[in-house]
Amino acid sequence: MRTLKTLLANNQNWARQMEARQPGFFATLAQQQRPKFLWIGCADSRVPANEITGLLPGEMFVHRNIANVVVHSDLNSLAVMQFAVEVLQVEHIIVCGHYGCGGVQAAWRGDRLGLVDHWLRHVREVAERHRERLAALPDEAAKVLRLCELNVLEQALHVSQSPVVQDAWGRGQNLSVHAWVYALEDGLLRDLEYCVTCSEEVALWYAAAIAAADRRPAGQPAPVPRLDLPAR
């Protein structure tokens, strides 16, 4: 098939439903985007940022790559961050990984997959940095779960240390960096207890988040308090 008729039909139905629920939605959205959030997540098709956070188009700026990696050599992620922080003036950067991440699993096992192996070296470096911590866990499953969490915390640390974020804090810009992880098994997000709002907090929050991870079973981060919110 030269055209994906099902997807095009789905799009038409979705657009009609959105316009019926909120007349003028697309006309307003087309004028300007004003998201408060930048999401840096994994490219995994099972982790759609807007859907799992209950946000509409225009409410979240999104960057995704394999294993939600943020490194100083990746101009793609740095450009996204700069645009989000300096132009869109987002207030929150959320680094979100997920359990069952194929990239993290491949990095841990040392799988040879081709070009992506170069990218996953960043995750392998996280594993090496926390080698003793991971070795203390009881089995391979626990080690991979913990590496998913540690990788998120390392990438959130990289975001916090980036010139884009450091300069924003230097200007007094209201900006916070968060580390979350998503569980495919229940569809719920977990907060990894890292929330940084200024340069002085980075080392303290990172150390506290690592210590908090050490105190709980791998794969069971601190639950987010339940709120009784009305359905959108």
Dihedral class, residue 48 (left if φ above 0, else alpha if ψ from -120 to 50, else beta):
beta
Catalytic residue numbers, as ranges? 42, 44, 46, 98, 101
What is the rounded CA–CA span in Å between residue 37 and residue 176? Answer: 10
> What radius of gyration, in Å, describes the C-alpha atoms of the chain?
19
Backbone angles phi, psi at 129, to 5 degrees: -65, -35
Alpha helices, DSSP H only, in 22-60? 25-31, 49-53
> What is the four-CA torsion angle of 52, 71, 149, 203, rounded to 10 degrees?
-110
Q: What is the DSSP letter of 226?
A: P
Give the whole-angstrom CA distance, residue 42 versus residue 64: 5
Distances (CA, A) of 29 to 38, 83, 139, 143, 195: 17, 18, 49, 43, 30
State the number of CA atoms in the 13 A half-sphere of 149 facing the CB.
29
Strands annotated E in 135-196: 176-183, 188-196
